[in-house]
Amino acid sequence: MDDEQQNWHLIGWDGITVRVPAEWDMGAISREEKGGYLRADDQEMPRLEIKWHSSDGFVDMEQVVSQYLKQMQRSRKRGQQPVHIEREVKVISRRKVKKDKLQTFAWHAEQDAYGAAWLCKQCGRVVIAQVMGSVDEENLGQLAQQVIATVSDHPTGGWKTWAAYGFVAELPEDFELKNQKLRAGLIEFNFERNTEKATVACWGMANVALRRRSLKEWAEQELGKALSRYGPESEPIEHRGHPALAITGKRLLPFQGIQRFFRHVAGRPWADQLRGYVWHCEPENKIYVVYAYLDHDNYDLAEQIRDRIVCHQETIT
């Protein structure tokens, strides 16, 4: 990685991760039952598109790319500049991406694009990634090679990365994303696994949020409604040198002990434990939040999720 790439940052969505230049960030996302889409934009235009879907059995990648390019041509409006397509163009080598059935392409119209497509035998995903730029942009092909080389198409070690706007979190891959908030001042992802739930979030402008209240008062006001059914209690701690809170709680309703017993007999969790953490990262001027409703046997999972979130880099040495 050269000096310029050291300033690049991570974007992650549904098992897809990619490192992009600092001025690029999440522009559009979508999820389907067997696939998804991610786009990164700079301040002027879309710069990166990644599409993927799960495959079963034999896949003709040359045909996949041909159909993709034909669909792009059909979607163009009348009066737009014709698209010139190149199929025999070296964008990135098979050795670089270490994927099977690699196909590369380029197209040129009002803008230029360089892309690659492949099948990952490990996860069964078909992935198409392309980097776009203006027609007069120098070294666009080299930039495309550098970006596409960083694409990872499946989780590693049983953990899936979700990253946007500088916030990077990891969850066990069997937790399913239910909803998200991606807006100025708040990045939040909410997940579920059977009866268990987990939330990770990053709040901006902490200096304003904490101007007239303590971190505990902030947590009570901002999170109190979401956590109220578990009778939350907080304890001041320190996390990576930052002021923090550890939150615990327990939900015990009539007959819940019996329900827990039968769910455990059936091999399913019963989420009656609340565990959470809130910390204020002053150098980043952000408040980080992790909380989860967990089965007793998974009580330490919230701590594992917390420890995989990186905030102020200088505190981790």
Where do the domains of the chain lie? 5-148, 167-315
User: pLDDT confidence of 236, banded at 50, 70, 90?
Assistant: very high
Q: Is 45 left (phi over 0), alpha (psi -120 to 50) or beta?
A: beta
What pLDDT, on a 0 to 100 scale, did the predictor assign at position 156?
Answer: 86
Instruction: Using a cut of 0.75, tell me whether the model's pTM lies above it.
Output: yes
Task: Name the residue with higher pLDDT: 254 or 169.
Answer: 169
Identify whether the C-beta of residue 290 lies closer than 8 Å to the C-beta of residue 197.
no
- 5-148 placed in CATH 3.40.1000.10: yes
What pLDDT, on a 0 to 100 scale, did the predictor assign at position 81?
Answer: 82
User: pLDDT confidence of 99, banded at 50, 70, 90?
Assistant: confident
User: pLDDT confidence of 265, banded at 50, 70, 90?
Assistant: very low
Q: 125: which 2 tokens?
A: 């995903």
Domains 5-148 and 167-315 share a fold: yes
User: pLDDT confidence of 313, banded at 50, 70, 90?
Assistant: low
What pLDDT, on a 0 to 100 scale, did the predictor assign at position 118?
Answer: 94
What one-character DSSP code corresponds to residue 241? T
Average pLDDT over residues 76-81: 78
For a pLDDT cut of 70, what percent of the chain falls above it? Answer: 91
Segment 24-43, tens digit of pLDDT: 999 999 988 789 999 999 99
Identify whether the C-beta of residue 101 lies closer than 8 Å to the C-beta of residue 80.
no
Q: How high is the mean pLDDT of the chain?
A: 89
Per DSSP, which regions of 205-309 are E strands?
233-239, 242-250, 273-281, 286-294
* CATH class of the structural domain 167-315: alpha beta
* For residue 145, pLDDT beyond 80: yes
Segment 184-215, tens digit of pLDDT: 899 999 999 999 999 999 999 999 999 999 99
What pLDDT, on a 0 to 100 scale, did the predictor assign at position 317?
Answer: 37
What pLDDT, on a 0 to 100 scale, did the predictor assign at position 268?
Answer: 65
